[in-house]
Amino acid sequence: MGNNYHYHAKHKNKKKSFLDESYVPPYDKALLGQSIDILKLTDATKEKLLKGNINTVFDVVRRCEKDFYRIPTFDKRNLGELKSALNNKRLRLKPMPEAAPKKDESERTDKVESKASSQEKGKNFGKSRSQGGQSKKDGLSQKGKDKEQPKNAKKDDNRNQQKANEKSHNQQNGRVNDNKQSPKQGKFDKKVREEISEARTKEEREKLRPKKEAVVHPQDKFIKINKNGKWGFATRDGKEVIAPAYDEVFLFHEDFCCVELGDKFGFINREGEVVVPIVYDCALSFSEGYACVFKGEHCGYIDRDNNVVVDFEYDAGTPVVEGSSRVKRLGKWGELHIDNPSEIRWIV
């Protein structure tokens, strides 16, 4: 008795955790260790999370939506605010677990039917024993009736078989005389046949039509990461390769990435080295070895060594595709060839 008392007293306040300890959020460890203050939540929502023992970003993203309703007074409005704040940081809650499939009701039906059939067999067995003697008498009387059948019974069977053969032959050739179709029925069948024919024609045309191959954009080996409001890059397994030091980073194109720092733009390589000075007022990614960059309100084109190949005299420009781009000046667009930028074909 005393031993049981001590055991229950020891384990009285021990609660089983409802969280999946095996789940690891796919985000940077440094970001996961940050306080929930970086989410910039309202005081009411933040206070409820702290009461629920949720202090860091890791405590948030390791939970799914239903886990937050375990927190007292935490409602849908708080959850919506939390999800919006996570989305601003490019974070997500743990995915909801898939619901277990329901038991097939057909199994229950089969069991009920099998039970009913077994009961029916038991009843029939009792009846068959009581009617055994009577069935023997019926068998003897049936033999007598068979002897009394007329001699021309075989001839009648042959005639019936011949009629059945003629009917099946007429049905195969579309000539059924037993049930003649009315005019309305004939028009309806004709309309259905036309619709079926039209649908089959569409199917055949669809098969002959050349199919476009889906465009597959390859994933870059680096992904963007954010730390204390600054951006950098890491590998897809979470290893940091370029420290977060920029106000914004874009995707890598031709191994150069356009970055923004202090309202100025430039380019870095995959080692994090600045290969084009961060001095431009705006910039587009490199394409075919050239990039459109702005100085003030006018743009031009540079190469990978930061040499100016097209002067800064245009109001807008597009990336280079197959050696040419589109430029805008004085409200008109023209076609510029990068190897001969002095001759532009203006589009009226």
What's the pLDDT at 66? Answer: 86
CB 266 within 8 A of CB 301: no
What are the tens digits of pLDDT across the range 4-17?
544 444 444 444 56
Q: With respect to residue 192, please indicate whether it lies within any of the assigned structural domains.
A: no
Check residue 8 and give its pLDDT: 46
| Mean pLDDT, residues 149-156 taken together | 56
pLDDT > 50? residue 236:
yes
CA angle 83, 85, 86 (to 5 degrees): 65
Non-local (6+) Cβ contacts of 228 within 8 A are 244
Report the C-alpha gap between 18 and 16 in whole angstroms: 6
Closest CA to 249 of 238, 237, 269: 269
Query: What count of residues does the chain have?
Result: 348
Within a domain: 203:
no
Residue 267 domain-assigned (yes or no): yes
What pLDDT does 122 receive? 56
* Range with the largest mean pLDDT of 18-27, 37-46, 91-100, 162-171: 37-46
pLDDT value, residue 177: 47
Domain assignment present for 1: no
Per-residue pLDDT band at 289 (split at 50, 70, 90): very high
3-state secondary structure 324-346: EEEEEECCEEEEEECCEEEEEEE
- With respect to residue 94, please indicate whether it lies within any of the assigned structural domains: no
Range of the domain at 79: 15-88
Is 324 among the domain residues?
Answer: no
Per-residue pLDDT, 297: 94
> Which of 38, 70, 88 lies at the terminal end of a domain, its last residue?
88
Q: Please indicate whether residue 114 or residue 25 has the higher confidence score (pLDDT).
A: 25
With beta carbons less than 8 A apart as the criterion, state whether 25 and 94 touch: yes
CATH number, domain of 81, equals 1.10.150.20
pLDDT of amino acid 14 = 47
Domain count, the chain: 2
Give the CA radius of gyration of the chain.
Answer: 41
Confidence of residue 212 (pLDDT cuts 50, 70, 90): confident
Confidence band of 134 (pLDDT split at 50, 70, 90) = low
Confidence (pLDDT) at 107: 55
Say yes or no to pLDDT of 326 above 80: yes
pLDDT band at 149 (very low <50, low <70, confident <90, very high): low
Final residue of a structural domain among 28, 56, 88: 88
Query: pLDDT by residue (tens digit) across 84-99?
Result: 989 888 898 988 877 6
Is residue 257, in this structure, part of any structural domain at all? yes
Q: Residue 226 falls within a domain, yes or no?
A: yes
Mean pLDDT confidence for 173-197: 59
Among 88, 105, 124, the domain boundary falls at 88
- Rounded average pLDDT over 61-74: 89
Mean pLDDT of 308-315: 95
Report the pLDDT averaged over residues 286-312: 96
What SS3 state is found at 122?
A: helix
Q: Name the pLDDT band for 337 (thresholds 50, 70, 90).
A: very high
Return contacts of 197-202, CB within 8 angstroms, 24+ apart.
none
Of 86-95, 136-145, 156-165, give the range with the top mean pLDDT. Answer: 86-95
